[in-house]
Structure 1
Amino acid sequence: MASNRPAPQGVYVPNDDDFGGYDDDSSWEEWNPTEESIRPVRGRHRVHKRGGGGLARSSTVLGVGVIAAVGAGGMATAQGGKPPVAIEMPDVSAVTDSLPEAKSLPGVGALISDGSDDSAAAGQNVAVAAAPLSAAGVSTTDAEQGTTDAGEALRARIMEQAENQQDQADDAVQKAAEEAAVKEAAAQAAAKQTAAEKKIAAEKAAAKKKAEAERLAKLAKSYTLPVASYTLTGTFGQPGSMWSSGYHTGLDFAAPTGTPIKAVHSGTIKEAGWAGAYGYRTVLELDDGTEVWFCHQSSMNVSAGQKVTTGETIGRVGATGNVTGAHLHMEVHPGGDATGVDPAAWLRGKGQSL
């Protein structure tokens, strides 16, 4: 088997400190390595060229060997019969004396019995030592409730939390249902109130209509149309150049000449005579001061100051004054004002149908 050439010996003189005071007078010849001496051997035993790897492994093996030798015999021997190296061990009693008492450590003193005769303290120590680790998470409240197991206590807390959450959810659902019920009740109350208000309004309207019908019916008995048979040929407010005011100031009832003209209501004849463009005109003053003019008559049957009743004949239809044909021109002047109102609306308001 090939191997590296042995390295030449050099001179090496160790001092007393190298081996614990042991002096070796052996001589070593100095060795200077060359390229030929460190050439790797071909074959199975190759030298790996890694920086520092071999030195590290050698140091490790040497250290392990020294430790093993010290552990087995308490001393190491060097090559050449060198004396053993003494190893100094620390005094264990000095270390133990500096340590604190075990009873003074937190949570440990209660687990150690000092051997005293105090039965209460001994019982307490035994109880603490015998307490199971599963009771470590048990609170005072859990203990008061009879729970001694940490897992059971945790389960109870989880169940309590779940029940609280369920109660909150149930409360929220109930609150929402109550709010919905309140809104529904309010909507129903509002609908009922609206229906009641509409019913009341309809009843009031019906009552008002009935009262108006009764009033008109009563008035109809005391009022009448001026002529029985007619054709309306002119309405109030109708514009035209034939009227001096620019519009028609009355209501025209076309009827044959000589048709009787009736008093529309009881009252007093204020005027009866010729009135220019109005022809023969009769003015009837009612009890409320309203004046009713009957114009274009062919003849008059009453005189000023005469009292008349509803339906009494006061004249006849004619074509006197500014006219284009036989008709009755009727005007209504409330309070005797010069400006009149629509005779058709006035007559309807007295229960008359045109």
Structure 2
Amino acid sequence: MASNRPAPEFLHGSTDSEFGVEQESWEEWNPTEESVRPVRGRHRVSRQRGGLARSSTVLGVGVIAAVGAGGIATAQGGKPPVHISMPDLSSVKDSLPDAKSLPGVGALISDSDESGSSSSAASAAPLTTVGNGQSDAGEALRARIMQQAETQQDAADAKAQAVAQEAAAKKAAAEAAAKQAVAEKKAAAEKKAAEEAAKKKAEAERLAQLAKSYKLPVASYTVTGTFGQPGSMWASGYHTGLDFAAPTGTPIYAIHSGTVTEAGYANAYGYRTIITLDDGTELWFCHQSSINVSVGQKVNTGDVIGRVGATGNVTGPHLHLEVHPGGDATGVDPAAWLRGKGLTP
């Protein structure tokens, strides 16, 4: 238990600074049964005054805390801070030792009052500083989070856009490749068709030019037998030439210019004339009724070399034409050979 403080005795001639009364000096106080009894009078009044002062101090501290809380709430609400000048709280510290433990008040009472600077700085500082710091920190954190979210969203959008652009580029490239392939195929087909058309045109021109030097052996006729036609009437078992049926005496023309190498009767062929062309091809004109040329004679295209007849192994008047390239015994199809010269039998 703490020892009792000496009871003050107020003497005349001095003034107490706390209570405002005059006193002369202090004397030692030894408590006795009589002295510890409740004392009525000035001491009781002094205690009441001290209680009133302490109550006033607590009330003042409460007001200060309320004003400080209001300042913090004002700062957090976005309103401009209000600066409040704090009075000297040294008397509060002395009168209320537990004031440091009060919420919102302890920070205002600093232990550094011994230096005399911290207390005045704390009292002069605005109470809204803490609120502003919390608000600024919250806003900074919120801004940072929003910035990170926007950055992530921008990155996701950029990635999606890049993927879409890549897919569109691939699709466009595939479509372009397909179109190019179709165009190339069409161009190749057109080129091939153009080449074939040009080739046909050139061949037609060549044949037309060549046809000027070739002529069909009979002007008016009917084809009654074709090359390769099978039958027992022919010794080889098939027809070896092309038959132009026409009335007896119909003129026979030299198909192309050449030399007469044979002119006379040849058994089953009847009267036959052979003209050898410059390339060695032999043309046989058979079953004639008469011959108008002789061996060694030069003939030109369109010259009359004989007449249609029915001599030899025949069933009626006609011209039997055979073609033997190089003088070979085996002949070729006269119709195909004539077409190769621009003539159509």
Verify the 8 A CA contact 1:262 1:312 in the aligned structure 2. Answer: yes
The Cα shift of 1:170 comes to 0.7
Please state if 1:224 is matched with 2:236.
no
Change in Cα spacing, 1:258 to 1:153, as seen in structure 2 (3 Å) is same
Partner of 1:169: 160
Q: Among 278, 297, 313, which residue is 1:322 paired with?
A: 313
Please state if 1:274 is matched with 2:260.
no
Q: Among 305, 308, 312, which residue is 2:303 paired with?
A: 312
Change in Cα spacing, 1:337 to 1:134, as seen in structure 2 (3 Å) is farther
Q: Among 285, 295, 304, which residue is 1:294 paired with?
A: 285
Verify the 8 A CA contact 1:331 1:340 in the aligned structure 2. Answer: yes
The Cα shift of 1:303 comes to 1.4
Rounded to whole Å, the distance in 2 between the matches of 1:295 and 1:243 is 14
Please state if 1:343 is matched with 2:313.
no
Point out the more displaced range, 167-176 or 187-196: 187-196
Once the two structures are superposed, residues 201-240 of structure 1 have per-residue CA deviations (whole angstroms, 9 ceiling, x without a partner) of 2221221121111111111110001011111100011111
Point out the more displaced range, 187-196 or 230-239: 187-196
Q: Among 162, 173, 191, which residue is 2:182 paired with?
A: 191
Rounded to whole Å, the distance in 2 between the matches of 1:253 and 1:343 is 11
* 3-state DSSP of counterpart to 2:321: strand
The one-letter code of the counterpart of 2:241 is G
Change in Cα spacing, 1:296 to 1:134, as seen in structure 2 (3 Å) is same
Structure 1 residues not aligned, in runs of 5+: 1-112, 118-129, 137-147
* 3-state DSSP of counterpart to 2:165: helix
TM-score by length of 2: 0.59
Verify the 8 A CA contact 1:135 1:150 in the aligned structure 2. Answer: yes
* 3-state DSSP of counterpart to 2:256: coil
Rounded to whole Å, the distance in 1 between the matches of 2:134 and 2:331 is 116
Rounded to whole Å, the distance in 2 between the matches of 1:183 and 1:135 is 55
Partner of 2:172: 181
Change in Cα spacing, 1:114 to 1:339, as seen in structure 2 (3 Å) is farther
Aligned-pair identity in percent equals 65
Partner of 2:146: 155
Alignment of 1:87-102 (within 5 A): none
The Cα shift of 1:190 comes to 2.2
Rounded to whole Å, the distance in 2 between the matches of 1:225 and 1:176 is 70
Please state if 1:245 is matched with 2:253.
no
* 3-state DSSP of counterpart to 1:253: strand
CA RMSD after TM alignment:
2.8
* 3-state DSSP of counterpart to 2:312: coil
Rounded to whole Å, the distance in 2 between the matches of 1:114 and 1:232 is 142
Partner of 2:196: 205
Partner of 1:41: none
The one-letter code of the counterpart of 2:167 is A
Verify the 8 A CA contact 1:282 1:294 in the aligned structure 2. Answer: yes
Verify the 8 A CA contact 1:134 1:151 in the aligned structure 2. Answer: no
Point out the more displaced range, 207-216 or 307-316: 207-216
The Cα shift of 1:286 comes to 0.7
